Amino acid sequence: MELIDIALTIGRLSAPLILVALGGYLSEKSGVVNIALEGLILFGAFFAATFTTWYGNPWLGLIMGALVASSVGFFYALLTVGLQSDQIVAGTAINMLAWGGIPFLGKVFFDSTSSTPALDLDMRIASWVPILTGLMFVLLFYYLSRKTRIGLWHSFAGEKPEALSTVGVSVTLVRFAAVTCAGFVAGLGGAFLSISLASSYTRNMSAGRGFMALGALILGKWRPVPTLVACLVFGASEMLQLRLQGIALPMIGEIPSQIVQIFPYILTLILLMGFVGESRAPAALGKKI
């Protein structure tokens, strides 16, 4: 029973990260670097909590959070694919828009820059839903990448865009669609963060998950299933961080909470330093059309 509880906890903590990493997969596999994942999480989380608070329907909140993040993803695609802006700079700008704009909206909507009103238990989505959603998207993207023409176009947009153009497929259109859909999927991860994993949106609640998702994507070598495994590792580290708080270890004593809280981020750095050299990014990642 203890093992089942541990597995469910890891799944619950990993699910939002899995969806965000899959959003990164959609964007980066098509050739567009997506530093904006952190901002997409926050937009999805804030608007999911906001619409759930306004209408009392978490499913409406979930969809609206993902749609708002998708619209932000479209704007990011307009900057990077349409206007050929620097992808790192544009992604950083989206993150800064989220960090500064969402507290302003919170003040307008709820007279608070720090959080949205707490949701009752019946206004939250059950913890098994994000787990199942994450697994379904992993299977969907695995199937699309291996078995369909759309998956082939998606891959060629990031590997050999010139070859894709040669056969009459618009690389611009493929990248626009991929980055917009990336916003939707990452927004789902953010929405689950605020209306399933937590009971409200709190300021900067993504806590670096967008960058951890990029780390998981790199460790997973830009493939859905290995990325899932990397996210589960990060979820396990987060669970361990929660369990170690306030516990005294033999011969060590109680570990300071500050050290415990940064454990997932230290693990991310260690894994990236150890494995990033073995990963090969899509050949046209970050390159303008």
Per residue of the chain (289 residues), give pLDDT as tens.
577 888 888 889 999 999 999 999 999 999 999 999 999 999 999 999 999 999 999 999 999 999 999 999 999 999 999 999 999 999 999 999 999 999 999 999 999 998 999 999 889 999 899 999 999 999 999 999 999 999 999 999 999 999 999 988 999 999 999 999 999 999 999 999 999 999 999 998 998 899 989 989 988 889 999 999 989 988 888 887 777 666 666 666 666 666 667 777 777 777 767 665 566 788 889 887 7
What pLDDT sits at residue 242?
73
CA distance 158 to 287: 9
Q: Domains for the chain: give ranges and CATH numbers.
A: 2-278 (1.10.3470)
What pLDDT sits at residue 253?
62
What pLDDT sits at residue 257?
64
What pLDDT sits at residue 268?
73
What pLDDT sits at residue 248?
63
pTM beyond 0.85, yes or no: yes
- Phi and psi at residue 202, in whole multiples of 5°? -125, 150
Q: What is the 3-state secondary structure (H, E, C) of 1-21?
A: CHHHHHHHHHHHHHHHHHHHH
What pLDDT sits at residue 275?
61
